């Protein structure tokens, strides 16, 4: 690993935009392919569990998820099994703790003491034409807590195209600081926990900022400030959008220190108790 990982220009970009795209940050053979292969195998195990014949061709990195869309068309709950299983892939957990991530934190947040947000890593599977689990416009902090000063590491396992619905970001929006949120969305009662969070005055807020949706592919990394506004795209393609999320925080951040690095919904905490002043209900 070259030290430093980032140029001064890249550190400046991250500070001013709250977002940094790092093409080819990972190695396809060592880092990414073992994860794709394990997902392929787990899809096979879920087929087996449910007596679905596995007629897929042999694994190839580009088509590791072949058969998945057909599988969940048969029974959507089998997709939830795959979703829960894949975050337990050893090669994925190894990637979460990659030494380069700690190094990135040290370069982006000099003097920080990096932590891996518990419950804050996983592999999203954004199924075609399914909106229930789309992330609405949000900042990461209320959804994750741990520390105000944190980063999301977002990396796709498939080549992202316009039709797969790339994640949308508002560069520079992190300078606004934490934005109050509604913790219930009456228009969408089936959204719970972090999925129910809704920015106060969302439309006005988003309209004030530029918006980008970079296309990325396997081995690329997008680093996102915990306070940057972002939202899922809409997958209108015919394949699931598979992507990895890993989150690092800073044990030295004063806000995290004050509440003891508590996690949010995924850690069973009620965000409203920890930050009543950010609650807009």
Residues at the contact surface with ligand AKG, assessed by CB under 6 A: 124, 126, 135, 140, 152, 154, 167, 230, 232, 243, 245
Distance, CA of 157 to CA of 155 (rounded, Å): 7
Q: Return all residues near 248 (Cβ < 8 A) that are at least 6 apart.
A: 101, 102, 104, 105, 114, 115, 116, 117, 150, 151, 153
Angle, helices 99-108/8-17, rounded to nearest 10 degrees: 70
- Which residues have a Cβ under 8 Å from the Cβ of 20 and sit 6 or more positions away? 6, 10, 13, 14, 108, 222, 223
154 binds, among Fe ion, ligand AKG, none (CB under 5 to 8 A by kind): ligand AKG
Q: Which does 96 bind (CB under 5 to 8 A by kind): Fe ion, ligand AKG, none?
A: none
Choose one: 6-14, 110-118, 119-127, 138-146; the region binding Fe ion (CB under 5 A). Answer: 138-146
Written as six digits, the tokens of 228 are: 């940057």
Point out the residue whose Cβ comes nearest to Fe ion.
140
Chosen from Fe ion, ligand AKG, none, partner binding at 33 (C-beta under 5 to 8 Å by type):
none
Q: What is the CA radius of gyration of the chain?
A: 19
Alpha carbons 123 and 2: distance in angstroms, whole number? 27
Which of 135, 240 has the CB closer to ligand AKG? 135
- Closest distance to Fe ion from the beta carbon of 29 (Å): 29
Least distance CB 135 / Fe ion (angstroms): 5
Round to the nearest angstrom and report the end-to-end CA distance of the chain: 47
Closer Cβ to ligand AKG, 38 or 152, answer by number: 152
**Least spacing, CB of residue 147 vs Fe ion, in Å:** 15
Q: Residue 57 gets which letter from DSSP?
A: P
Nearer to Fe ion, 67 or 233 (CB): 233
In the complex, the smallest distance separating the C-beta of residue 221 from ligand AKG, rounded to whole angstroms, is 12
Using CB under 5 A, list all residues that contact Fe ion: 140
């Amino acid at each position: 690993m070259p030290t430093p990982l980032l140029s001064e220009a890249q550190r400046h970009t991250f500070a001013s935009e709250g977002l940094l795209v790092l093409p080819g940050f990972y190695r396809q053979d060592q880092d990414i392919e073992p994860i794709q292969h394990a997902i392929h195998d787990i899809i096979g195990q879920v087929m087996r569990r449910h007596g679905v014949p596995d007629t897929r061709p042999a694994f190839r990195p580009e088509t590791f998820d072949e058969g998945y869309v057909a599988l969940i068309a048969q029974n959507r709950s089998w997709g939830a099994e795959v979703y829960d299983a894949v975050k337990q892939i050893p090669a994925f957990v190894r990637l979460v703790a990659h030494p380069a991530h700690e190094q990135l934190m040290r370069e982006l947040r000099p003097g920080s003491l990096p932590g891996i947000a518990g419950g804050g890593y996983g592999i999203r599977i954004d199924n075609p034409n399914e909106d229930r689990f789309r992330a609405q416009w949000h900042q990461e902090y209320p959804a994750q807590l741990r520390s105000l000063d944190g980063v999301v590491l977002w990396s796709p396992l498939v080549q992202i195209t316009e039709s797969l619905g790339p994640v949308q970001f508002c560069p520079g929006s992190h300078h606004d600081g934490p934005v109050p949120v509604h913790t219930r969305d009456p228009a969408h009662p089936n959204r719970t926990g972090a999925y129910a969070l809704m920015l106060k005055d969302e439309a006005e807020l988003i309209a004030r900022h530029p918006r980008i949706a970079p296309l990325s592919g396997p081995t690329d990394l997008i680093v996102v400030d915990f306070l940057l506004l972002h939202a899922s795209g809409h997958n209108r393609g015919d394949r699931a959008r598979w992507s990895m999320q890993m989150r690092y925080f800073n044990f030295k951040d004063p806000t995290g220190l004050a509440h003891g690095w508590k996690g949010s919904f995924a850690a069973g905490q009620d965000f409203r108790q920890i930050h009543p002043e950010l609650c807009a209900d």
